[in-house]
Amino acid sequence: MEERLEKELEYQAKQNKADSKMKKLLTIIGTSLLLLIPIAFMYGIITDRTNYRNEAVQKVTQSWAGNQSIGTPTMSFTTQNAKKEEVVNNLELNMYLAKVIIKTEIRKKGIFKVPVYTAQVTQMGNFNNKYGDLSSKQITTKIQVSDTRGFVKEPRFKINNAPEARAHDVTYTTNIKTNDKSIPFEINYEIRGLNSIDVAFGGYCNKVYIEGNWKDPEFKGDYLPTKRAVSLKGFNAIWSVPKIALNQQNLVKDAYGNEVEAPSVASVSLLVPVDNYSMAERSLKYGFLLLMLTFMGYFIYEVTSKENKKVHPVQYCLLGAAILIFYLLLVSISELIAFNLAYLISALMVMSLIFGYTYFVITKKQGFGFSAGITSLIGLLYAYFYVLLRLQDIALLAGSIGLFAIIAAIMYLTRNVNWYNENN
């Protein structure tokens, strides 16, 4: 009778151990889900800092100028019809060349850096004259710039090979004596802008040349450059677009809600090499996975430890808080230094904290090997997630392979765990 009772008690003890493992696993999962709340708060902090940065950029825009869009010049004159109403006669732009030389500098607003530029713009070419003798006509030439606050000097107009003249506005009116079929022009001005510059096409034969001292340009717009070169000293790009390539309706709505045809443009954006907020947000997407894998490491330690070591749920919460503080450190430090260095410093700070807590508190100075191992695991995860941040095009493939390897490692490490605590 006593022997039977002992066997039942032994079986019950083993069953309790199995139930304890399952309860601990469920506790870990519940703790991880609970820590999703501070992860959501982290997203809010990143959004707030991004908005704060955008406000700083807006303040620079108000005192400098915004993104500049340079339209094609126009040439016209007015006549009166039989009803003595004024009629605008537009000359057609034929050959068109735009040359833009950009000099970039960094303006600081608080802790934020904003790339601004000053551009030397030359627009030249000729207009087709189908109206015959224009000797008695007042010819008006107009340039189009999206933000006229950016003008550094008054524009200079040279029409039909006449002496160069300054204008106090974006329009220049003069008398020309010609009945030629082609009227040449050259316009020069200097403008300031922010972040990007667009140059429109509009002639029968268009060529745009943009050069700058920014080493991280992004070529956008409706057409990619025909030729381009980018180096540490800067960039240059050439667009060559014929009229036939412009015959595509691209309708947009104007300020009054009417649909108008938008011009085709060549565009260059001055990219900041690393946007720390977008990188931090992408990094935070791996936060929950990092938590689960770290907790899984401690759980495997519990179920495989011969000393029957236990990690309390409160200790799991503290470890999770240490993991999540990494992202707050990353955002705040990367506002002051390069993102790569901020990532390294934040990771080392968290790894040092976890190693100290594991060695001195959890293992009571008896598990140096485990403390070093779990810290190394976290370091490898940080390095792995950093690689995923850089591999944008194949991030999904790299992530899938990495998770496969992690699951295989967990299976291997728990291969000898007797989950039911039963003898074979």
Please indicate, yes or no, whether residues 44 and 73 belong to a single structural domain of this protein.
no
Among candidate residues 390, 184, 174, 188, the one with its CA nearest the CA of residue 282: 390
CA distance 268 to 217: 6
End-to-end distance of the chain based on CA atoms, in angstroms?
25
pLDDT of 351 over the 60 cut: yes
Structural domain of residue 288, as residue ranges? 21-50+277-413
In this structure, the chain runs to a length of 424
Q: Is the dihedral of CA 367, 373, 377, 380 positive or negative?
A: positive
Which of 23-37, 115-129, 340-354 shows the lowest per-residue confidence on average (mean pLDDT)?
A: 23-37
Please indicate, yes or no, whether residues 143 and 110 belong to a single structural domain of this protein.
yes
3-state SS class at 399: helix
Residue 285 belongs to some domain of the structure: yes
Please tell me the predicted confidence (pLDDT) of residue 311: 80
Q: What number is the average pLDDT over the span 371-378?
A: 89
Residues 6+ apart with CB under 8 A from 407: none
**Number of separate domains in the chain:** 2
Please indicate, yes or no, whether residues 163 and 100 belong to a single structural domain of this protein.
yes
Is 357 or 107 the better-scoring residue by pLDDT? 357
Please indicate, yes or no, whether residues 152 and 249 belong to a single structural domain of this protein.
yes
Q: Which of 221, 242, 272 is the last residue of a domain?
A: 272
Please indicate, yes or no, whether residues 331 and 408 belong to a single structural domain of this protein.
yes
Determine the residue type at 272: V
Residue 269, Cβ density class (10 Å: 0-12 exposed, 13-18 middle, ≥19 buried):
middle
Please indicate, yes or no, whether residues 217 and 79 belong to a single structural domain of this protein.
yes
CA distance 202 to 393: 36
Which tokens go with 251? 């309708």
Please tell me the predicted confidence (pLDDT) of residue 255: 42
pLDDT digits (tens, 9 = 90+) for 382-412: 988 888 887 766 667 777 787 788 778 777 7
- Mean pLDDT over each residue of the chain, to the nearest integer: 83
